[in-house]
């Protein structure tokens, strides 16, 4: 498995994280503005879920294509073209009024995101040495979290004072930051480039093997777990605006601040668990910790159904976000360790497609169930459903942990040589011994494209 040679390119990491913070802020700004506009206009749960489905379906449908594009086409070209397309679509969205046109433009924005997500997620591990990946993943997670934290809060203020057009124009400008970063980033993948070899020149390497996601039971267990949990709790994304605004009788500003508490927790959790991820050299322990963190998120969602006011919802969702941030770092590191560099675009696209497909199930259920049940009951139901899914996947996770192959010992590489493989890596024929090790947002590795309860 290939990571950066010599020193990590932190300048590239900072370019990615900076542009990601700006573009994520714009995304959440626009998403929250459109959600508030629908709710304020008297739209029901089906309308909100329809908007979210339009923003999610392309991520699922295009995942097989965009994953291969991320591995085969020059990363700079993809980021520039997709970023310019998204800026143009968002500019048009600011002046669109017909519902069908709005939905089409939202779907177009999501199509661009389906391209940029796997490209950026696969770039980050190529920028840093293996031992620096947890820190880089935490920085990437922090950028997305800060953007997601500022976006809803800004939307609550801007929609109340200026309507929805200004937030959408700001979102269009945010995509230009991504284009600028793409032109400045030195690290590139795809095109005529070949992945850096996992061994130093002059040393022997095991022959490369064809990689298939289904051949790695640990990654399959991870993806099945997160997809199941998000399908179970995804309705919270539709329900939360009605729960906070109508059941708890809060303002648009409070709605933005409350939803931001979860993303603030993600920021804290990313850095708390990045250090732990670096110490968990055994991927099996990393997978078990991932399961525990997801269970904690579901428990916080269940507890949030009992709060009498939006203010008391803040500490509960803060704790839920901490678990979410840790889970995002864990899945990033686990995927980057176990997937060969040449296939990471496909792997991150598969993870993102599974997550977004599960989100679509949750969005649809949220819209339908809001017609028959109260928001508070649905929030409690989401928490219970998520915990039940965790209980159901425990046996499959246990089997995956037991099926993990025994480590293969390889000599450690010195600082001036090619970076050592991460423990548990599937690259170059199998896992490696912890002694040999000196990590996309979720993105990131690929951090979750959608947080458990996000606007």
Per-residue pLDDT of the chain (455 residues; tens, 9 = 90+): 445 445 778 888 888 888 878 877 887 788 778 777 766 666 666 676 677 778 778 877 887 788 788 888 888 899 999 999 989 988 888 887 777 787 788 888 888 888 888 888 778 878 887 777 777 877 876 787 677 677 777 877 787 777 778 888 888 888 888 898 889 988 888 765 544 443 334 433 344 456 677 778 888 888 888 889 998 898 888 888 888 888 888 887 788 788 778 878 888 888 888 878 777 777 888 888 899 999 999 999 999 999 998 888 999 999 998 999 889 888 888 887 888 877 777 777 777 778 878 877 887 788 788 888 888 999 999 999 999 999 998 988 888 888 765 443 333 333 333 222 222 332 322 332 222 222 222 233 333 333 443 33
The answer to whether residue 270 sits within a structural domain is yes
The answer to whether residue 261 sits within a structural domain is yes
What pLDDT shows up at residue 45?
62
The answer to whether residue 197 sits within a structural domain is no
What pLDDT shows up at residue 81?
92
The angle subtended at Cα 422 by Cα 419 and Cα 427, nearest 5°, is 90
List phi, psi (to 5°) of 303.
-65, -30
What pLDDT shows up at residue 451?
42
What pLDDT shows up at residue 129?
79
List phi, psi (to 5°) of 432.
-120, 165
**Alpha-carbon span 322 to 314, nearest angstrom:** 12
Q: Scan for tokens 């899945």, then name that residue.
A: 331
The answer to whether residue 27 sits within a structural domain is yes
- Structural domain count, the chain: 1
The alpha carbon dihedral of 402, 328, 362, 123 has a sign of negative
What pLDDT shows up at residue 44?
64
The answer to whether residue 200 sits within a structural domain is no
| Domain containing residue 72: CATH number | 1.20.1250.20
**Alpha-carbon span 397 to 407, nearest angstrom:** 19
What pLDDT shows up at residue 198?
39
**Burial of residue 395, with CB atoms counted within 10 A of its CB: 0-12 exposed, 13-18 middle, 19 or more buried:** exposed
The answer to whether residue 450 sits within a structural domain is no
**SS3 of 408, please?**
strand
Measured between alpha carbons, how far is residue 133 from residues 95, 123, 349, 393, 419 in Å? 42, 11, 19, 28, 12
Measured between alpha carbons, how far is residue 79 from residues 151, 343, 437 in Å? 22, 18, 32
**SS3 of 432, please?**
strand
The answer to whether residue 339 sits within a structural domain is yes
What pLDDT shows up at residue 428?
29
Task: Provide the 8-state DSSP code for 207.
Answer: P
Residue range of the domain that includes 216: 10-190+212-436
The answer to whether residue 198 sits within a structural domain is no
Among candidate residues 49, 35, 45, the one with its CA nearest the CA of residue 360 = 49
What pLDDT shows up at residue 53?
76
């Amino acid at each position: 498995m290939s990571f950066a040679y010599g020193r990590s390119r932190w300048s590239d990491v900072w370019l990615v994280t900076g542009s990601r913070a700006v573009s994520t802020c714009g995304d959440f700004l626009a998403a929250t503005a459109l959600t508030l506009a629908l709710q304020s206009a008297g739209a029901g749960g089906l309308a909100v879920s329809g908007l979210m489905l339009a923003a999610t379906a392309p991520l699922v449908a295009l995942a097989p294509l965009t994953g291969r594009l991320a591995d085969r086409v020059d990363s700079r070209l993809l980021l520039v073209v997709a970023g310019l397309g998204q800026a143009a679509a968002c500019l048009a969205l600011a002046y669109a009024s017909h519902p069908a046109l709005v939905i089409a433009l939202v779907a177009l924005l999501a199509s661009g995101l389906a391209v940029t997500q796997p490209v950026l997620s696969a770039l980050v591990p190529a920028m840093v040495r293996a031992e620096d990946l947890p820190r880089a993943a935490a920085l990437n997670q922090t950028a997305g979290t800060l953007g997601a934290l500022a976006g809803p809060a800004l939307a609550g203020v801007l929609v109340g004072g200026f309507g929805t057009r200004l937030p959408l124009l700001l979102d269009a400008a945010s995509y230009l930051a991504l284009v600028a970063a793409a032109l400045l980033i030195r690290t590139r993948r795809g095109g005529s480039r070949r992945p850096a070899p996992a061994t130093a020149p002059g040393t022997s390497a095991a022959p490369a093997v064809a990689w298939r996601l289904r051949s790695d039971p640990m990654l399959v267990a991870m993806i099945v777990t997160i997809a199941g949990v998000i399908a179970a709790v995804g309705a919270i994304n539709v329900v939360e605006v009605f729960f906070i605004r109508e059941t708890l009788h809060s303002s648009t500003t409070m709605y933005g601040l409350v939803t931001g508490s979860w993303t603030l927790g993600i920021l804290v959790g990313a850095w708390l668990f990045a250090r732990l991820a670096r110490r968990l050299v055994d991927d099996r322990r990393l997978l078990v910790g991932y399961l525990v963190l997801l269970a904690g998120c579901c428990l916080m969602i269940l507890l949030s159904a009992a709060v009498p006011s939006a203010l008391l919802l803040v500490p509960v969702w803060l704790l839920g976000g901490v678990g979410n941030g840790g889970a995002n770092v864990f899945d990033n590191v686990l995927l980057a360790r176990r997937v060969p560099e040449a296939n990471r675009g496909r792997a991150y696209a598969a993870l993102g497609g599974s997550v977004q497909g599960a989100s679509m199930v949750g969005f649809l259920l949220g819209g339908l169930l809001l017609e028959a049940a109260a928001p508070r009951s649905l929030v409690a139901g989401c928490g219970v459903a998520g915990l039940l899914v965790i209980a159901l996947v425990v046996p499959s996770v246990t089997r995956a942990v037991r099926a993990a192959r025994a480590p293969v010992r390889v000599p450690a590489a010195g600082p001036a040589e090619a970076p050592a493989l991460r423990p548990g890596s599937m690259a170059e024929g199998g896992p490696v011994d912890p002694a040999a090790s000196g990590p996309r947002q979720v993105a990131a590795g690929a951090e979750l494209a959608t947080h458990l309860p996000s606007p």
